[in-house]
Each structure stands twice: as structure tokens, then as C-alpha cells.
Amino acid sequence: MSLKLVKDAPTVWSYLNGVVNLFKPAGITVQQVRNTVIHNLCRDLNQLEVRPALQRVVIDNCNESKLVVRKVEDLSDNILVTGPRYQPDDIKCRFCANHGRFTSGVIVLGINKGTNLAFRLQQNRPLRVYRVTGFLGKATETHFAESRVTTRATINHIGSEKIGRLLASIQASHQRKMFELSGIDIQSQAAYELACKGTIRPTDNKLPMIYGIRLAEYRKPFFTIEIHAINETEAYLGELIHEIGINLKSCAHCTSIRCIRHGHFQLQDSLLKKDWNLQNIISGMAHTNKLINQHPDMLQQNSSSLQAMNDVPTR
């Protein structure tokens, strides 16, 4: 397929509809990400060939017996009067997840007509995977590194095996909690059939649920865990690190949170901040559309796991 260079802004605007996978740096909010993307899109669109100013009809009376009708530029539509053709208010954006300021990694953004896709992705609640790093021996007020240290403790007795056993216990308790919320005995045939249909999601979309947690790296006093979860928040992950420290007979706080996967959106496919421009965003939308066509379950998963679990019969 041959490629064609397009310099016409209205033509490019018609393709600016879809979702794109971005890499959110730590230390900035999702609102700042939104403002940066919109500013860059407006800047690049206005550098293309925008539509000319509108014309208006003028009737000139050259003499008493003859009238001349002609078209002239409507100065009220000139960009020197109205401003640039593409304004930030013209672009609609919606995120599929509301990451906190300390969280970095994958974030999916819907632009213009893609906001509907972003809403459907959010409602389907796909699994997100995080790499969360904690620091043993110090506890802070907000459970994050930027706040004041409140407690110090020894960590000589903590090893990777002890952390691994604790994380396995946390995963088992959350898996047991899934079936308790559905009212099904975890040892029953109904529980097995429900688990075979896909990820079991609680009907309450504000209830955090961990589906997998393991120790990825341990370099005392730092430890990194990989978490597979839905309905999680930045505050919940920070509190989880704090509770892990307490259960290890010590204390801990969170130093970094990175989302490495959101459903089928991978970290290696996300656009860095330096690539948040018109050309790369449209290319990213094309890649995302192929990904959604390959995995239509991201928009709608037809299984009982998305229905009210109390309606599932027990055996």
C-alpha cells in the first residue's frame, strides 16, 4: 500500500478519532497529560493547510445605472481576528483509567469519537498489571516517599522467601474473597464453571480486587512486586505496600508505581512524552484499532463474570 503525504488540516482532522496508548510519566497528573496532548495536537493542526477564510458578497454601486456584485474575504473569519482554526475546546478527550500523580506507565486516551471507545473499555474493566516498588524500614504519613517519615524499623530478619510466602497468602485471600462475594463455595462445581468463563469481576466497581501478586525483585531495602488487579487506585497500592511492611514485622512505604499493561495495551507500545504529536498519535490510533479488532473482548466480554454474581446458581 502506497503512502500519501497529507498537508490538508481538515483531512487529517477526520482521521483524529480513536484511542491511543500513552506513557504517563510520574510526577504529573492525568489532567496535565490531557492538556499537553491537546496543546500539541492544536499546534500541529494549525501548522498544516487550514481552510481559507469565508467569503461574503459585496454589491458595489459603480455608477447610477450599473451594480457590480463580487466576493471578498470575510474579515470576521480571518485567523487574525478569530485566532487559530483549531482551538483546545474543539478536541474531546477521555481516559480509560484515572492514574494518580505518582503513577507512571500505560494510560489509554480516547480522542474525539474515540471517547466512546474509551468509555466502553473503562466499563469492561480490563485487568491492569503494575510493578510497585517499596522501601523497607521506613513508614511515611501518606505511604509514599514524598511525605514525612513517621516510623523506622529493622529489616535484617526479612528475606525474599518470607516476602514470597506473604504475597502468596494475600493472593489466596483475594481469590477466596471473589467467590465469597458471589455466594459460591470455592470447592463447588459452580465455582469451577464460573472461573472457566473468564476473569471474575465484582459487581461493585469501587472494590479493589487482586488476581495475582508476586515478588519480581528484592534488593534490600528495596523490593518490587508485580500486581494484577482491577478497581485499584494509587492510594490502595500505597496502603498495600504499608500493610506488607507491617505483616513482615517491620514497616515500608511505596517509592514508585508503574503500570506495565492495561488489558492488551503493552508498555513497549506506549508513546513517550516526546512523541505526543499529531503524526505519532494518528499512527498510534491505527495500531490500537488493529489491536481492538484482534481482541473484541476488550470492549464487551460476554460472560457471567460481568453480571451480578448473586444471580449465578450454586450447586
Is the link from the previous residue into 221 a cis peptide, with omega within 30 of 0? yes
What pLDDT score was predicted for residue 117?
A: 92
What pLDDT score was predicted for residue 72?
A: 84
CA–CA separation, 164 and 215 (whole Å): 6
Domain spans in the chain, listed from the N-terminal domain onward: 18-46+67-126+267-295, 127-262
What pLDDT score was predicted for residue 192?
A: 76
Q: In DSSP terms, which residues pair with 71 in a beta bridge?
A: 57
Q: Which residues of the chain have pLDDT under 50?
A: 1, 303-315
176-210 residue pLDDT tens: 887 776 667 777 787 777 777 666 777 777 888 89
What pLDDT score was predicted for residue 260?
A: 95
What pLDDT score was predicted for residue 311?
A: 41
132-163 residue pLDDT tens: 999 999 999 999 999 999 999 999 999 999 99
What pLDDT score was predicted for residue 313?
A: 38
Residue 212 and residue 228 in contact, taking contact as beta carbons nearer than 8 Å: yes
What pLDDT score was predicted for residue 306?
A: 39
CA–CA separation, 230 and 309 (whole Å): 16
What is the CATH number that goes with domain 127-262? 3.30.2350.10
What pLDDT score was predicted for residue 140?
A: 95
Single out the residue of 12, 221, 237 nearest to residue 112, CA to CA.
12
Q: In DSSP terms, which residues pair with 57 in a beta bridge?
A: 71
